[in-house]
Amino acid sequence: MNIILTGASGFVGSHIMSALKVSGHQVKEATRSKGFDFAQMTSKEDWLPHLQNIDLVINSVGIIVEKGQQTFDALHYKAPVALFSACLKFPKIRIIQISALGADGDAFTAYQLSKRSADDYLRSLPLDWFVLRPSLIYGKGGTSMEMFKRLAQLPILPMMVGGKQLVQPVHITDVTNTVLHCLTNPETNFTLDVVGPQPVPLKDWLHLMRSEMGKRSALIIPIPPKLSLFAAHFLKHIVPLFHPDNLRMLQKGNHADVKPLKEFLGYLPIDIKQGWSMT
């Protein structure tokens, strides 16, 4: 297939691109280094010249923190909507939108709401589409994974409410396999949560990392949510991932039913202990 992949230089996009090429597909990389400034490509006319002879569009652009012109509104909503609108000129094109778990009716942060708005627009179009909503993705090269690794190495872990928040990390291999299944799946036009086999408390995930690194369990110091959010207003300038909105999303939890994904893939996603050995 001839495929255009946005965000091909990012963590998720680069893994998808590698999997596509191994499978023999021709991939056009829509990245800034290739002349695609996503923040500026907010009109369908910006995309029409790039869709000639394209069979599949994959949008994997995503940011967790805004910076300059790299805003949620521009990158998560305006540019994808322009791209999807341009696809209407080529009705045989299939579209895969990489969204995020939590971009649903309960979305409450700018990150989630911008993702959901683009998802909703795509779902309204008379095209063949898939909306994939991954949980926290981990694997080689993942920025968030590296942050959690560094965090896990600390002997003392101050964590909001003691790290009891449920997360359901999914390995990047399962994300790429889901994308590959979408290429040929006869059924289209559905939304699929892409998650690990079961939810686990955040503190348990960090302790698993420590165990695999040969370290004993760390001392967990519970921090009240209000104090954590107050501290995040200052920490975000040092570690952008500690933005208050990200803590609010974490506090709510990040998990979903794995059964639909298991049925789609034909296997249970990789367990976090096995996945850790693959990072």
Contacts 24+ apart (CB under 8 A), 16-24: 16/58, 16/60, 16/175, 16/176, 16/179, 18/176, 19/176, 19/177, 19/179, 19/180, 20/179, 20/180, 23/180
For residue range 131-155, list pLDDT tens digits in order.
999 999 998 877 777 777 777 888 8
Looking at the DSSP assignment, which residues form a beta bridge with residue 70?
67
Contacts 24+ apart (CB under 8 A), 47-51: 47/82, 47/83, 47/86, 47/87, 48/86, 48/89, 50/4, 51/4, 51/86, 51/87, 51/89, 51/90, 51/93
pLDDT for residue 158 is more than 80: yes
Structural domains of the chain ordered from first start: 2-137+170-195+255-269 (3.40.50.720)
For residue range 86-119, list pLDDT tens digits in order.
999 998 999 999 999 999 999 999 999 999 999 9
Intra-chain end-to-end CA distance of the chain, in Å: 29
Spatial distance between the Cα atoms of 224 and 218, rounded to a whole number of angstroms: 19
Q: What is the value of pTM for the model shown?
A: 0.92
Spatial distance between the Cα atoms of 26 and 3, rounded to a whole number of angstroms: 6
Give me 137's structure tokens: 């993705």
Closest CA to 102 of 226, 232, 246, 242: 246
Give me 256's structure tokens: 């979903």
Mean pLDDT of 50-66: 95
pLDDT for residue 240 is more than 70: no
